Amino acid sequence: MTNNDIFKKLRVALQLRDDEIVKILELVDFRITRSELGAFFRKEDHPNYVECGDQILRNFLNGLVIHLRGPKPEKGAKTIPKKKA
């Protein structure tokens, strides 16, 4: 399975639009245009197909964590421990 396949499956499973993916990547200071992003989702035999590199997928996954969980708390900040049930 290629990075492109993983990226496509995550996009479908999470029902993300291209503009949402661009915003997720911006959360980790990674800039990409919608047209550059669309090249990853094309079929391999398409002339404008681009292979998704490890860096792009890694940045997307890191941005997705921030998008779903929120930003990482700063060091030294007090956190409230969860109560055991």
Per-position pLDDT tens, the chain of length 85: 999 999 999 999 999 999 999 999 999 999 999 999 999 999 999 999 999 999 999 999 999 999 998 877 777 766 666 676 6
DSSP symbol at 41: T
Contact yes or no for 30/81 (Cβ under 8 A) = no
Q: How many CA atoms lie within 13 A of 19 on its CB side?
A: 0
What does pTM read for this prediction? 0.79
Q: Which two tokens stand for residue 63?
A: 């941005």
Count of positions (residues) in the chain? 85
Residue 7: count of CB within 10 angstroms of its CB: 19
